[in-house]
Structure 1
Amino acid sequence: METRIDLAVPSAGWLSRKATLKEPTVLQSFAFDDVRGHLYVLQVTAHGHAAGDLCLNRLDHRGERLGHMYLKGFGHGVSMGVQHDASGGSPWIWTEADAKNGYGQGVTRFHFAAGAVRTAANVKVRHPVPGSANNQPSVCPESGRIAVRYRDKAGRPRYRVWDLDAFVARDYANPVADIAQTGAHPDPKVPFQGYALYRDGIYQLAGSPYDERTNPRASRGNAYVSCLDIRTGELLQQERTVAGYGLEHREPEGLAVRGGTDPRIYIGFASGPLGARRFSLYVKDAAAA
């Protein structure tokens, strides 16, 4: 499973300044369902940050909204995953769940249902790392694995990876990997903004919105993408990205990978004024470079 995406290739625009999400807030994370041509996007609701209330949008690949649902008390939406149902039914959506102080303390999966509202009573919450906090999932369909980013009892961020079938069966005893989160940004104080599991790599995003004092627009921002090897925990690559540098606000938000013969990594950015945020996606495609 040695396929790795080169983060040094230039980024190209894929969706630009879309205003099709249900809530006026920024996107938090996103994931692709390439079987059905859908894009799922998570947002914190406009008044639900402390409660961990999320809105899940289902879009087509042009960024047009096909439906949405609400997740009450689930978390911050830092990452998500799509698991295809072997029976051919609608995919499972993996998110954090069981919010405390706005962040999910476990993970869960469910089927998308337009217009529905989910609460903890409607889903089965998993706590795969006892004593951990801030659990956030990502799924790699190609390797059949799931990762959970979590904070250990000392508050340090880590990743743990399992075989997805074992995880679904609630067998958490033999993870594929358990590594420290490192290398997301040269400055550890800069906010972490998302990750995605792809084969033997954890791809990370970190960066801040534009700020004329600390992160001026003229500098083209401080966003970085990076990759960790789940087998060793080694930082394989760390690259600054200036994708979307012309956006207003330009806050990095979310990362996703589409695999196949031409694996590509997608980077999300929020733009626009407070209360009317838009979203853009940029892609790094080594085959097109």
Structure 2
Amino acid sequence: MRNIPSAANRRSVSRRGLFRAGGGLAAGAALGSAGVLLGAGPAWAEVPDSPRFDLVGAGGNPVWKKSLHANWVMQSFAYDNVHQHIYFAQVNSQNSDPDRVGDLWITKTDTAGNQLGSMALHNFGHGVSIAVEPYNRSVYLWTEWMSSSSGFGTKIGRFAFADGAVLEKTSGAIQDRTPSIGDTMINPQPAIDPSTDRLLVRYKTGTDQPRIVAFPLSDARAGRLASENRLVERALPARGSWGTDNPFQGYTAYGRYAYLLEGRANGPSYITVIDLNDTGQSTVIDRWQTTAGESLSGREPQGMAVWLHSSGPRLAFGFHSNTDGVRQASVFYKSEFV
């Protein structure tokens, strides 16, 4: 299903060279909460242009029904594009112990889904989105953190992956990397665009009021996540009653475009495309239905990531499945551009 707004229905974006080639703000400029440059008139923030992934076509399926470390539900995944590994986040959907709310397993695999290691996170969150950052001979994970009673994280934490480790939410090894841009930040969820070295955070400011904000990864790594550090910020589509039946299941970004994954178990799955340079709650492609993995038992969309493969960039998206109580992960991708 495609719904591409006409030019009349999409607000135009000023292109005045406000950003450096790497996507940063021009010196001395600052952004207001709606993305307007303060003191610079009504111009809107802008990230450099890039190609957009084509959602049609066969794509690929490098991971098929792989069991991860625990027999828990795969929620999200991301790539270490330097070492060509995947890190999956898993949550215990059958947890009934209040002391274990927000417990996650992280499973490290090769790009075919074969297990290479694991790590336990206590009271972190639901694992809706995970980001992977190879840096300084270590691999750092970015996840939601500090689980609330709902099971979702209230902050974003950055920490080094350590095979076999158990990390408590109070550990001093966790760096708080929650943006402080003036907005109420409900359920912040991180992603990294490895093609531009940007951290993106999806969050809500209220019921059904999702937003997305982007920062240079170098600033985010150092904890510089204030208003003056953001590259762009905009609203995401409100989901309404449709969203109740089709839960949000993950997102990622490649250059100018963000990709959202939605759908429920044993139902249709959708990908929505967002232009980070657009405004309001507009979309480029609204609810494009994918049939990838349709033969999976208990098929449920879970997670998106950008994979920088030797043959070119890939837009990867995943599915959890359940066959007679055995929970497994599958990953598909698109590699062509429009």
TM-score, normalisation: structure 1? 0.87
Structure 2 contact 252–259 (Cα < 8 Å) conserved: yes
1:111 aligns to what? Answer: 160
1:196 aligns to what? Answer: 252
1:253 aligns to what? Answer: 302
Say whether 1:157 aligns with 2:213.
Answer: no
* Cα distance in 2, alignment partners of residues 185 and 224 from structure 1: 15
1:128 aligns to what? Answer: 179
For residue 82 of structure 1, give the secondary structure of its aligned residue in structure 2.
strand
2:232 aligns to what? Answer: 177
Equivalent of 2:88 in 21, 34, 41:
41
Matched-pair identity in %:
33
**Residue correspondence of structure 1 range 258-273 to structure 2 within 5 A:** 258-259=307-308, 262-273=312-323
**Residue correspondence of structure 1 range 19-168 to structure 2 within 5 A:** 19=67, 21-45=68-92, 48=95, 51-85=101-135, 87=136, 89-100=137-148, 101-122=150-171, 123-129=174-180, 131-154=184-207, 156-168=209-221
Say whether 1:207 aligns with 2:263.
Answer: yes
Moved more, 3-12 or 100-109: 3-12
The structure-2 alpha-carbon separation of the partners of 1:108 and 1:119, relative to structure 1 and needing over 3 Å to count, comes to same
Deviation at residue 40 of structure 1 after TM alignment: 0.4
Deviation at residue 120 of structure 1 after TM alignment: 2.1
Q: Deviations over 1:258-283 (max 9, x none)?
A: 24672211111111247421111111
Return 5+ residue gaps in structure 2 as ranges: 1-48
* Cα distance in 1, alignment partners of residues 109 and 152 from structure 2: 24
Equivalent of 1:224 in 262, 267, 270:
270
* Cα distance in 2, alignment partners of residues 32 and 184 from structure 1: 28
Structure 2 counterpart of 1:34, which letter? N
Structure 1 contact 15–281 (Cα < 8 Å) conserved: yes
Structure 1 contact 146–197 (Cα < 8 Å) conserved: no
The structure-2 alpha-carbon separation of the partners of 1:152 and 1:3, relative to structure 1 and needing over 3 Å to count, comes to same
For residue 170 of structure 2, give the secondary structure of its aligned residue in structure 1.
helix
For residue 69 of structure 2, give the secondary structure of its aligned residue in structure 1.
coil
* Cα distance in 2, alignment partners of residues 186 and 259 from structure 1: 36
* Cα distance in 2, alignment partners of residues 147 and 29 from structure 1: 15
The structure-2 alpha-carbon separation of the partners of 1:154 and 1:272, relative to structure 1 and needing over 3 Å to count, comes to closer
Deviation at residue 124 of structure 1 after TM alignment: 2.3
Structure 1 contact 48–54 (Cα < 8 Å) conserved: no
The structure-2 alpha-carbon separation of the partners of 1:184 and 1:39, relative to structure 1 and needing over 3 Å to count, comes to farther
* Cα distance in 2, alignment partners of residues 180 and 163 from structure 1: 19
TM-score, normalisation: structure 2? 0.75
The structure-2 alpha-carbon separation of the partners of 1:12 and 1:183, relative to structure 1 and needing over 3 Å to count, comes to farther
Q: Deviations over 1:92-141 (max 9, x none)?
A: 11111111121111111111111101122221223314532101100112
Deviation at residue 153 of structure 1 after TM alignment: 4.1
Structure 2 counterpart of 1:226, which letter? T
* Cα distance in 2, alignment partners of residues 72 and 112 from structure 1: 14
Deviation at residue 162 of structure 1 after TM alignment: 1.1
Deviation at residue 147 of structure 1 after TM alignment: 0.7
The structure-2 alpha-carbon separation of the partners of 1:283 and 1:25, relative to structure 1 and needing over 3 Å to count, comes to same
Q: Deviations over 1:31-75 (max 9, x none)?
A: 111211211000013655861110001001221111101111111
For residue 66 of structure 1, give the secondary structure of its aligned residue in structure 2.
strand
* Cα distance in 2, alignment partners of residues 57 and 202 from structure 1: 25
* Cα distance in 2, alignment partners of residues 26 and 81 from structure 1: 18
Deviation at residue 194 of structure 1 after TM alignment: 0.4
Structure 1 counterpart of 2:274, which letter? L
The structure-2 alpha-carbon separation of the partners of 1:227 and 1:53, relative to structure 1 and needing over 3 Å to count, comes to same
* Cα distance in 2, alignment partners of residues 47 and 243 from structure 1: 26
1:214 aligns to what? Answer: none
Structure 2 contact 249–261 (Cα < 8 Å) conserved: yes
1:217 aligns to what? Answer: none
Moved more, 4-13 or 57-66: 4-13
* Cα distance in 2, alignment partners of residues 236 and 185 from structure 1: 19
Q: What is the aligned length?
A: 275
* Cα distance in 1, alignment partners of residues 106 and 158 from structure 2: 13
Structure 2 counterpart of 1:199, which letter? G
**Residue correspondence of structure 1 range 264-283 to structure 2 within 5 A:** 264-273=314-323, 275-283=325-333
